[in-house]
Amino acid sequence: YSELCCCGQPRKQSSAGPNISLLRPELQRQWHHAKNQHLGDRQITTGSNLRVWWTCNSCPSGLPHEWLATVRDRQKTDHQCPYCTNNSLCQHNSLLTMAPAVAAFWDTAKNGLTPDLVMAGNHARRHWLCPKCGHSWQAKVYTKVDGQSGCPKCSQTNKFWNRQPSLTQSQHPAMLEFDFERNRRAGIDPGKITAGSSKMVHWICNHCPKGQPHLFVARPQSRIALNSGCPYCASKKACICNSLQTSYPALAAEYDAARNGGGPEQVLPTSHKVAFWKDASGHTWEQSPFQRTSPERDRSKRAAIRLGSRTRPDLTCFDCGFVAICNGSGSHDYCVYADAVHSLRNKQALLEPIPANRNATPRQTPA
């Protein structure tokens, strides 16, 4: 006995089960008679919200599909078997069955379950492990299945390996500068890196005029595909062969190593980085090496800036017409720009505005 009749007495279930004649023929075929027997002989209407059991015999693996759903939902044409539509796990739609090649990369230890318990269309990110190279990564299950992809590290290696030779096979002239010793210590094998690799590799150049070996790192792609050379020989990095100390020893003597954090042997003459300078008289200013070493630069753009003192905009150098620099004691006797030092001989005559045209011809010293 499971229900009461209209008079309140227990009603005995009918062996025939509920009346499902109002349902669609497809639903009548999927009605689970054994598990719905407890409903008695009641009439099942199409709009009923009663949750009942259903069964489907269309499993490719021959397994019965059984699930609970309301009659009202099942009446909807798009509400089909959840196993056949890959919304519920079954043996036929598991990762192990549908994509065994992908399942071979399944990391059971990190995922905590086996690939036969995961749907092939699962959108969750799972752990994968390459049995060949040991590479571990994460990816969504369905993306791995759709692409039938394996290990991304091995795939990338094979992709470039098939298109480009290794550094050893390339026989490019740049390989004459390959630093085998430093690369060996770094675990870099030229036979396992392609000529188009973007991996940083050690190189050594022995063309320094001063006999200093040039050690640098660069990608094989830039050295071979773009034919880039030694950055020291190209004056992109400082060496004893191209430094400010070697190229301009007179200017290097005024380079303030203490304030710049390094000596002139570490700086290129073409550097645009502003540096500190100090002459024999103790005057200091700020200027880039490029401004001091470039003869074609306009003087109006090369006027130095005095540090730690006052600049008088109403005083001009009597020799060149440029702003004079005050030494802090009231004596305006020092004018400096990149390539000259002018004494201000007639101090009283300097008390006048700066010429509008700084490139004009300098005034003559009054008698």
Within a domain: residue 197?
A: yes
φ, ψ at 67 (rounded to 5°): -155, 165
Q: How confident is the model at residue 281 (pLDDT cuts 50, 70, 90)?
A: confident
Looking at the structure, tell me whether residues 179 and 218 fall in a common domain: yes
% of residues, the chain, pLDDT over 90? 13
% of residues, the chain, pLDDT over 70? 71
Looking at the structure, tell me whether residues 54 and 104 fall in a common domain: no
Torsion over CA of 239, 245, 251 and 252, rounded to 10 degrees? 110
- Alpha-carbon gap, residue 31 to 55, rounded angstroms: 6
Among residues 158, 177, 202, the one where a domain terminates is 158
Residue 143 has pLDDT above 90, yes or no: no
Within a domain: residue 137?
A: yes
- pTM (predicted TM-score): 0.40
Question: Residue 158: what pLDDT?
Answer: 55
Question: Residue 167: what pLDDT?
Answer: 80
Within a domain: residue 33?
A: yes
3-state SS of the chain? CCEECCCCCEECCCCCCCECCCCCHHHHHHECCCCCHHHCCCECCCCCCCEEEEEECCCCCCCCEEEEEEHHHHCCCCCCCCCCCCCCCCHHHEHHHHCHHHHCCECHHHHCCCHHHCECCCCCEEEEECCCCCCEEEEEHHHHHHHCCCCHHHHHHHHHHHHCCEHHHHCCHHHHHECHHHHHHCCCCHHHCECCCCCCEEEEECCCCCCCCEEEEECHHHHHHCCCCCCCCCCCCCCCCCCHHHHCHHHHCCECHHHHCCCHHHCCCCCCCCEEEECCCCCEEEECHHHHHCCCCCHHHCECEECCCCEEEEEECCCCCCEEECCCCCCCCEEEECCEEECCCCCHHHECCCCCCCCCCCCCCCC
Looking at the structure, tell me whether residues 250 and 292 fall in a common domain: yes
Looking at the structure, tell me whether residues 216 and 181 fall in a common domain: yes
Looking at the structure, tell me whether residues 99 and 150 fall in a common domain: yes
Residue 239 has pLDDT above 80, yes or no: yes
Q: What is the mean pLDDT of residues 87-107?
A: 81
Q: What is the mean pLDDT of residues 277-306?
A: 70
Looking at the structure, tell me whether residues 71 and 47 fall in a common domain: yes
**Where is average pLDDT lowest: 101-105, 106-110, 158-162, 278-282?**
158-162
The mean of the pLDDT values for the chain is 74
Q: Which domain holds residue 125?
A: 95-158
Question: Residue 216: what pLDDT?
Answer: 93
For the stretch 318-333, pLDDT in tens is 444 444 444 444 444 4
Looking at the structure, tell me whether residues 130 and 102 fall in a common domain: yes
131: tokens are 């049995």
Within a domain: residue 126?
A: yes
Maximum average pLDDT range among 136-145, 166-175, 336-345: 136-145
Residue 12 has pLDDT above 70, yes or no: no
Question: Residue 302: what pLDDT?
Answer: 38
Among residues 133, 158, 183, the one where a domain terminates is 158
Among residues 196, 225, 254, the one where a domain terminates is 225
Within a domain: residue 348?
A: no
Within a domain: residue 12?
A: no
Sign of the dihedral through C-alpha 185, 189, 193, 195: positive
Looking at the structure, tell me whether residues 153 and 108 fall in a common domain: yes
Question: Amino acid identity, residue 76?
Answer: K
Residue 2 has pLDDT above 70, yes or no: no
For the stretch 32-50, pLDDT in tens is 888 888 888 888 888 888 8
Residue 91 has pLDDT above 90, yes or no: no
Residue 66 has pLDDT above 90, yes or no: no
Q: How many domains does the chain have?
A: 4
Looking at the structure, tell me whether residues 103 and 154 fall in a common domain: yes
Within a domain: residue 290?
A: yes
Looking at the structure, tell me whether residues 219 and 203 fall in a common domain: yes
Between residues 313 and 60, the one the model is more confident about? 60
Q: What is the mean pLDDT of residues 275-298?
A: 82
Residue 314 has pLDDT above 50, yes or no: no
Q: What is the mean pLDDT of residues 205-228?
A: 88
Question: Residue 203: what pLDDT?
Answer: 93
Within a domain: residue 301?
A: no
